Structures are given as structure tokens and as C-alpha cells.
Amino acid sequence: MKAFFKWVKRIGLGLTAMIILLLIAGFIFERISRNDAEKITPDGNFAEVDNHRLHYYKKGSGGPTVVFETAFDPAGHLQWYHIQQQLPASYTSFSYDRSGILWSERGQNPKSGEKIAEELHLLLEKSNLPKPYILVGHSFGGTLVRFFVKQYPQ
């Protein structure tokens, strides 16, 4: 019986040591990744919306404006980058990082579909983009587009 507890103790210590090493490795990886991320300059622009900055990327000029809304993707506007590059220059394409995603600040507001639609509306107004808007949403972004259309039917 003593031998059994001796092995259990060794296995427990080994697992504890392994968990500690994994935590240290994760911390080091996070620090290196954060330092690398701080060196990257975001493309696009920022606008102040509801007391926090939202990042957006605009390409082309003229109307209509194609507005891209992302899914639950931490890459934010980058999800649409290659598609924006392929649109004709006669269109204005617009993608952005929702609050708390990629380069946009989180802000203090609760994040509901209505609030996200309101922030997008304010961002589009501040960006002086030509109307009409063609809204394109992928996955969860499609749901957010529906909130936007319901609140701003024009």
C-alpha cells in the first residue's frame, strides 16, 4: 500500500511540475506575441465612437458603399481584406473591427446587437461614406446586419 501512495505522490508531483512548466511557457509565448503585435502598424483609420476608438479600413471611392460585417472572428476586418482588394475601385468598400476586436478599443457600453448596430451607424456617419450601403455579413455578422437594417431602414 505504501508503494501505491509513493507512486501516486510521484505522479502528482510530476503533473504539478508539468502544469507549472506549461503555464510558464504560455506566459513567455504571450509576452513575445504581445511585443510582436505592438510592432504592427494597423492599416486604415480610427474614429471616435461613444467615447472609444474604432478601427476601420476603407478602399475605393464613389458609391455605393459595400459594408462588410465580420463573424465571431478575432481577426476583425482582416477577414474581408482580400475581398475588398478585388472589388472595383468605383465602389467604396468598408470593413471595421467591432469594439474589443483587433485594433478597436472595447469601450464601456454593453455589447448587444442593437448597440453594435448603433456603433456601426455612427462609424459610417463619421467616415463620410457615400450612400447607399450594401451590407454584407458573414455568420454572426449576418445577424448584426439584420439589427442594423431594422434600426436604420433607410
State yes or no: pLDDT of 29 exceeds 90: no
State yes or no: pLDDT of 35 exceeds 80: no
Examine residue 88 and say whether the peptide bond preceding it is cis (omega within 30 degrees of 0). Answer: no
State yes or no: pLDDT of 40 exceeds 80: no
pLDDT of amino acid 87:
93
Query: What band does 68 get if pLDDT is binned at 50, 70 and 90?
Result: very high
pLDDT of amino acid 9:
87
pLDDT of amino acid 42:
85
For the segment 127-141, the average pLDDT, to the nearest whole number, is 93
The tens digit of pLDDT for each residue in 79-130 reads 999 999 999 989 999 999 999 888 899 999 888 999 999 999 999 999 999 8
State the average pLDDT for the chain.
Answer: 90
Separation CA 124–CA 95 (nearest Å):
10
Q: Provide the edge-to-edge strand list for the sheet that holds 45-49.
A: 45-49, 52-59, 92-96, 65-69, 133-137
State yes or no: pLDDT of 74 exceeds 90: no
10 Å CB burial of residue 60 (0-12, 13-18, 19+) is middle
Residue among 123, 119, 105 nearest 151 (CA): 119
Examine residue 74 and say whether the peptide bond preceding it is cis (omega within 30 degrees of 0). Answer: no
37: Cβ contacts below 8 Å, ≥ 6 apart = none
93 to 19, 59, 69: CA distances (angstroms):
47, 5, 11
State yes or no: pLDDT of 61 exceeds 80: yes
Q: What percent of the chain has pLDDT over 90?
A: 62
137: Cβ contacts below 8 Å, ≥ 6 apart = 68, 69, 143, 144, 145, 146
